[in-house]
Amino acid sequence: MKKIAIDFGTTNTVIAVWREASNAPETVRLPGLSAPGEEGLPPLVPSLLYVENGTGDGVSIGHLVRAEGYDVQGDERFFSSFKRGIAATNRPLARLIDGSSWDEARAGAVFIREVLAAVLEQEGDEIDELVLSVPIQSFERYLKWLRDEVVAAKWASRRLRVVDESTAAALGYEVRTPGELILVFDFGGGTLDVSLVRMPIAEEGSGVVLETGQSGKAERLVGDGYIEARVIAKAGRVLGGDDIDHWLLDELLVRNEVDRRDIGDAYSQLKLAAEAAKIRLSTHESAEISVFDPDTYRTYRATLTRTQFEELLDRQEFFGAIQKTVDKVLRGARAKGIYPEDIGAVLMVGGTSLIPSVRRMVRTIFGSERVAEHKPFEAVAHGALGLAVGLGVDDFLYHSYGVRHLSPITGRHEWEEIIPAGVRYPLDEPVKLVLTASRDGQEALELVIGEVEESAGGITEVMFGDRAILMVEGGLELRRVVPLNEEDGARTVAYLDPPGKAGEDRVEVSFDVDQNRTLRVTVLDLMTRKEILRSAPVVELH
């Protein structure tokens, strides 16, 4: 029985398997899908997809897309960077391919399923646990996508674990000293996620002992219980290597005095050239770009130095965005009495973290002696596997959550905050709330849960838009709330028998969050003293 982890990235995807013989993770190479090995790089599957048969999910993925030249054809059958579109508020328009609708969500789902099929073919069908990592900022949307579109019925019998990428990365690097504070700087193709994590503490008499083997790395716990890492503070934003590729493409067009609307099918070739220049500038002082468009017989040329590249990034406020993200984490840490000098190590994760100016900036903030850069691509997948074999995580909820109900006084829907941001899970005690029947003859109560970006204490009024809800905090500040289980089939309903009467306190709802971030509800009918629902799962939180 095997445990598999997939780190689905905007640019590349990493697959790792836990090897019982060596008691360690191994990054696997998938024939035809993994890119040819380059010196110093682990096996990486390019996150690319080409639709060959739109009606039957007939596709090519990974390196095969490049090998067949599909990535430079520039037609609508080619998908790249689709991870970003999956959780975007404004998703790109769907494409009609062979009469079938394709968007980023479908492309990503088919890509993951094809990767899983290739893993099963190579490793055998005895996989008992699958671990998938997702970004911090879009956890709930990615989780919904994974459940609705990725994990088909054939995977339902296997255990699925979902972890956030930054926490997994902390566990994927070598664990140093028990209790050490580690900052994870995860900068990939689509997102920047920064997390401050306190590594496991071996408490005397707890039965949890952190041992170090001959390799110098922390190994499995000895005794009962779990090793737990604790997330102190975290922040993220949608920014990554894909943005840089587009900025470089725009710079190339400016230098060649061409408008983006006029490049036609040459777009894919130009973007690939921009990406290649970005990668080269991480190890060389200059990069030459030359792309010939056979349709227009035009050649696009440019020479870019590393200094010019860094000036381009600066004009886009790239470094300012990094600084703001790091500062947000450090502010959260200071609020808990933790200062930058207390951080023992900074772990660089993701391809964008390898850009020299990014590495230099992080070293300037934290000091070169604390920055580790030796595992930028594998840390997330390896750390996710560590969780699967017993390395637990003591995390907190990133957002606030409220429950929507119909007020019998105002006749309007209102929100009651049940869980503020920053609460650790599992909860020590359930949160209890008494709900009142809003009308005579009411036969059911719907429990709709909403996610707020930050703590929404002091809510006084709610105004509705088409899909989102604007919450007025303290009568002044507007906050956006998105229902998480409002769609048909996802709602949690408590049926009343006998029906309720307007104004009567009818049910007591107990909200709990388990170790897997699942919000569960128990509903007690105050009239009949019967439990209508018992620990029913509602939605996964973050």
Tokens representing 99 are 């009469």
pLDDT of residue 317: 95
Residue 203 has what pLDDT? Answer: 46
- The secondary structure of 351-405 as a DSSP string is GGGGSHHHHHHHHHHH-GGGEE-S-TTTHHHHHHHHHHTTEEEE-B-SSEEEEEE
Six-digit token string for 380: 């997330």
Tell me the pLDDT of the chain (542 aa) as tens digits: 688 999 999 899 999 999 888 888 999 999 999 998 766 789 999 999 999 999 987 999 999 999 998 988 768 899 998 888 887 766 678 899 999 999 999 999 999 999 988 998 898 767 778 888 887 767 777 877 887 777 654 554 457 788 878 778 888 887 556 788 999 999 998 889 898 988 766 543 333 333 333 433 333 333 344 455 678 898 888 899 999 999 999 999 999 999 888 887 788 889 989 999 999 998 899 999 999 988 888 999 999 999 999 999 999 999 999 999 999 999 999 999 999 999 999 999 999 999 999 999 999 999 999 999 989 999 999 998 888 777 667 778 878 898 887 766 677 777 888 888 878 888 889 999 988 888 899 999 888 898 875 433 333 333 333 333 333 333 323 456 778 888 777 788 999 999 999 888 999 999 999 887 889 999 999 999 999 999 999 988 87
Rounded Cα distance between 40 and 8, Å, is 20
Please give the Cα distance from 185 to 474 (Å, whole number).
Answer: 35
Contacts (Cβ under 8 Å, ≥6 apart) of 441: 499, 500
Question: What domains sit in the chain, N to C, each tagged with a CATH number?
Answer: 2-165 (3.30.420.40), 174-374 (3.90.640.10), 400-540 (2.60.34.10)
- Which residue type occupies 454? E
- Cα–Cα distance for residue pair 62/40, rounded to 1 Å: 20
The token duo for 219 is 């190994």
- How many helices (H) and strands (E) in the chain? 11, 30
**117: its two tokens:** 């099929």
CB 445 within 8 A of CB 493: yes
Whole-number pLDDT of residue 206: 35
